Amino acid sequence: MKLVWKHLPADQLEAFRAYLDGLPAEGRPRYGLLGVKASWWSRMGGGARPFVVLVAGGRVALSKRSFRRHDEMSRHEYALADLKAAKARRGPLLESVRLAFADGTRVRVGGLPRGQSRPLERFLAGETEALDPAGLTPEQLTNFFQAMGAVGLQPGGAAAEGARSTPETAQS
- Pick from 112, 121, 108, 106: nearest CA to 144: 112
Residue ranges covered by each domain of the chain: 26-156
- Pick from 162, 155, 127: nearest CA to 32: 155
Is the pLDDT confidence value at 158 over 50? no
- Pick from 126, 125, 83: nearest CA to 104: 83
CB environment 1-39: b (16+ within 10 A), e (fewer) = eebebbbbeeebbebbbebbeeeeeeeebbbbbbbbbbe
Q: pLDDT for 74-120, tens place per residue?
A: 899 999 999 999 999 998 888 999 999 999 999 999 888 889 999 99
In CATH, what is the architecture of 26-156? Roll (2.30)
Beta bridge partners of 172: none
Beta bridge partners of 54: 32, 61
Q: pLDDT for 41-52, tens place per residue?
A: 766 777 777 889
pTM of the model: 0.80
Q: Which amino acid is at 49?
A: R
